[in-house]
Structure formats: structure tokens, C-alpha cells
Chains A and B, each alone.
Chain A
């Protein structure tokens, strides 16, 4: 494959990633390879598929608006952070595993802001988990050492909040949960 052709392929990959991100989707290597085929950019006389890893590395180096994310499956996925933020991309990726979806979100919120998250967050977009699924996931987490840091708070109004004990201490998490649940509303 000569340099100019390579440049065209990179450009097509960038375009495909951008279109996908605009539509709220992450693209893996397989999907991107299929894109190149769909755009008739891989000649019929090409014996092998191109080295997508190398091609994509070059694409990311050339087009600085693109980013890569390592999926929970181990696969590398591609997106445009300005259209599909790192945070949102991570959530979309973790939808494949409700356990990780909930746990990672709880951990990130506890570490970054820091704050506990209301349980009902996971029923809303983009998590879209049914209450039964959430309950099942929480039960599973309660019995698993891998998720022993995921902890619960019940506020004075009966709302459930989750936090990670790795990043937030319980008294502080309780304070923040009460504040988020009713404190702010009673303090306009």
C-alpha cells in the first residue's frame, strides 16, 4: 500500500469515526474495516486486510480530534471526544456489563467530584437499567470482593445513594447524599 493510499484510508477512518461519534457510537477495528470496505477503499486485489492497528495509530496521530478507549472487553474503540466525550464513551462501553456500569460510575463520582450518586441515576439515560436489573446487580456486588467498596446510603427521605469507600468516607458521603437529596432543595 503506497503512502498516498494510506493517507486516503486514514482520512476515511477519521470520517467514519466522526460520523459514528456524532451518532453516539463507538467504533472498533472490525466495524472500521467494514467501513473501509463499504466505501470501496480496499481494492479487490488486496490479498490481506490492512494492519488496522497501525493504520489507526497513524490516523490518531494525524487527526488530533480523535481518541481511543480500551473497552471492558479489551478491544480498542475509537471516538471523537468533542462529539462523544471520554466520560460518555466510557458509559456506553460499560453498558455491556451492568455490574461494571454501576460500579465504575459510582467509583468515578466518588473519586472525581467527589460525591455519591443517587440510585435512580441508573434508570435514566444513558444507563437505562431496569430497577430489577439494578437490584440484582447490587445484590451481586454485595456478595463479591471485587465490589466490596460499593456502599449504600439511605437518606432521611428514603432515597438510596451509592458511593465507593475507596474514595469517600461514609460520614462525608452521608452528608453529601443528604445535601443532594433534600438539602439543596430546601436551601434555594
Chain B
């Protein structure tokens, strides 16, 4: 009985992740590493043992879409994100990130002709969380499975009760979108404000929209260098990346 549910789960997860509908036996075994040890309270993810990656099968329902051609660089999105959610104005903590690209664009001040932003071609590029489909890089990297999908929105959110502040998620995000709250020593990321994103509300030029989710992960080149550690050595990371 249990194994039938598991099989169904695996096939569903595979579909969501873009594998073809019919799995070969080899693919099936590959995906089904380890036995189920527990069923999560939430229905949207499963873990097959402590040493297996989290699988978030349901995609987010919505997505932040940011149009650089409309962005006027006021940073009210970043301010709304932190002031209205955290009670303090802290753009470095904002879960939508515009300030870091505003002057020179994602290429930075050494980007030369590729510079965007105020000192480049004038375009302000906003970075938003793509609420990645499976495999979710930040969730996969988390040794505590502290990043899960929220029930109403499917947003990938940090469960601060489980987060131990190891920062591995920050290293894992290809677009460097995971923030870290130094005050609470917890990771933080875009949680779509329970379906009414405050940044969208705050934007004075209509540059931000909250729309139906689609997969953006293949559209923009990764920004951050991804950390690759051989599986047999990965456990050793936890010697240091611990509270």
C-alpha cells in the first residue's frame, strides 16, 4: 500500500520536474532512493530518509514578475517588503532585490560595456524569487528541510523554527535570492506575502505583477557560483555549518 503511494508520488514528482511521463525502471529507482521513514504534515513534499533530498511536487500558484523597463529605482518594493513584514527598513534583507543592481546592473561596476543600471544603459533589473519547481535548489540544500511550500500559495518559504542558520541555502540559490537576517540568525526568502505581495502593492510604476506561476528557471543565466560537493564529502559540510 505504502509503496504504491510512494510510486505515485515519485511519478508525479518526476512529471513536475520535467521528466517524461513514463519512467524507465532505472529512472524510477534513481528517484526512489531510500525508504520512506515519515510522511510530512504538508502534502506537497516528501522525504525518503534523512539522507535523501526533499521533493516539493506542487509548484507555486503565483509568481512575482518584474519588468525592468518600468522600474524607476525608487526601492519602495524593498522597503515595503521589510518594513511591512519585519517592522524595519532594511533593503539588504529585502526578498525582492533591486538596489544591488541599480547602479551598474547585475554585471557590477567592473562590467564595462555590459553595465546596466544608472551608470550603464539605464535599465534597473529587479531580481525576484522564481519559486523554483522541483528540484528546488534552496530547499534541496537545506540539511534541516526547513524550506517548504506554503499551503495557500505554494511559495517556497523558510520555516524559521527548523532553520539553524547554516546558510547553505544562500550558497545554493543560482540567483542569490536568499537573504539572512543577522538579528534572528535565520535565512529568509520571498514568501509572496500570503498571496498579496506587498512589493507589488508598493510599486509606483506598475513594474511588478503577481501572476500565475510558470517556470522561469531556464530563462536567466545563474548569477551565483554554485557550490558543488561530491556526495561522499557533503556530510562533512555539517561539521562547520552548524549553529
Give yes or no for direct A-B contact (beta carbon below 8 Å).
no
Q: Which residues of B contact A (CB under 8 A)?
A: none
